Chains A and B, each alone.
Chain A
């Protein structure tokens, strides 16, 4: 009788051991994605903690033999969508704007020659500010492809959208980033 009562506990303990091992394997990547998606440490930690707990609750649905990190990213991006909707605190940004970090908003100059500006040695804060200014869908594609090295197919599976959509979001995201970084590089006129 006691064994029957303890059975669920034993099964959960087994799942927990496997689950913790998988999470431990991808801690760094998961934190990086959370940080790049949310734009700050506090929200990244909230998002990641929520996503990991949700992943454990849904662990029975995780297909063994598939990539755990990709599955966790999917949960994280879904969670992030929910958080943004719930909090509705992100300002609506024009695609031509980027936060200069001093509370002002600079508008891209369409006539400037972007080729003159190098973005190779940009500070991370500027890069993150530019990422934050991207529409969420573009940011997800850029973070997963350019920072996490996922293939277009993998991103399509994580974001549950066609590969063509991934490709266009990625391209628009990169072009907007370049524009934003160029503006940041030029500084206030």
Chain B
């Protein structure tokens, strides 16, 4: 009994994404089986229709609007980053003071 090709192989065949032996298997299947040949033809038509679909275009003010929005995001990021740095520096300073105080206390106890 002849083994039928996995259906998804047909799309991969149209895209030439199969290995050499797989390509030959599908080609042989298409020669022997009319329905496989018809499916391949239909797949090619669909692919062609998709490739030839017209290019959709946004209104002229779309991209300037997007870049303005991105700039707003960038400014907010910069502000956040600044406050993160400030808080981190303040936190670090507090830790340093606490460590120095502990050291001073220990030294006084030794003395």
Task: List residues of chain A with CB under 8 Å of any chain B CB.
Answer: 4-5, 7-9, 11-13, 15-16, 19-20, 23, 27-28, 31-32, 35-36, 41, 44-45, 48-49, 52-53, 56-57, 114-115, 118-120, 122, 124, 127-128, 142, 145-147, 151-152, 164, 167-168, 170-172, 174-175, 177-178, 181
Q: Mark B87-101, 1 if CB is under 8 A from A, else 0.
A: 000000000000000
Taking a contact as CB atoms under 8 Å apart, the answer to whether A28 and B55 are in contact is yes
* B27-71 interface with A by 8 A CB criterion: 38-39, 41-43, 45-59, 62-63, 65-67, 69-71
Cβ of B105 under 8 Å from chain A: no
Which of chain A's residues has its CB closest to B89's CB? A4
Task: Quote the shortest CB–CB distance from A20 to chain B (angstroms).
Answer: 6
B82's contact among A9, A41, A45, A142, by CB below 8 Å, is which? A9
Interface size class of B (residues with CB under 8 A): 35 or more
Which residues of B are found within 8 Å of A57, using beta-carbon distances? 73, 77
Q: Which residues of A contact B62 (CB under 8 A)?
A: 31, 45
Binary per-residue interface labels of chain B (1-19) against chain A in the complex, 1 for a CB within 8 Å, 0 otherwise: 0000001101110010100
How far does the Cβ of B1 sit from chain A's closest Cβ, in whole Å? 23
Residues of A within 8 A of B73 (CB): 53, 56-57
Nearest 7 interchain pairs by C-beta: A8-B81, A171-B11, A146-B50, A171-B8, A35-B56, A12-B78, A168-B8
Question: Which one of B11, B57, B69 lies within 8 Å of A31 (CB-CB)?
Answer: B57
- What A residues does B24 contact at CB under 8 A? none
Complex interface: chain A residues within 8 A of B12 (CB)? 152, 167, 171
Whether B43 lies near A178 (C-beta < 8 A) is yes
Known A119-B49, A147-B53; contact A53-B69, beta-carbon cutoff 8 A: yes
B residues in contact with A41, CB < 8 Å: 56, 58-59
Which residue among B47, B48, B69 has the maximum number of chain A CB atoms within 10 Å of its CB?
B47
Interface membership of B104, Cβ < 8 A? no
Q: B68 to chain A: closest CB distance in Å?
A: 10
Q: What are 16 sample pairs from A and B whose C-beta atoms fall under 8 A apart?
A: A5-B82, A8-B85, A20-B70, A23-B66, A31-B58, A31-B62, A35-B56, A45-B62, A48-B66, A127-B50, A146-B46, A167-B11, A170-B8, A172-B8, A174-B11, A177-B50
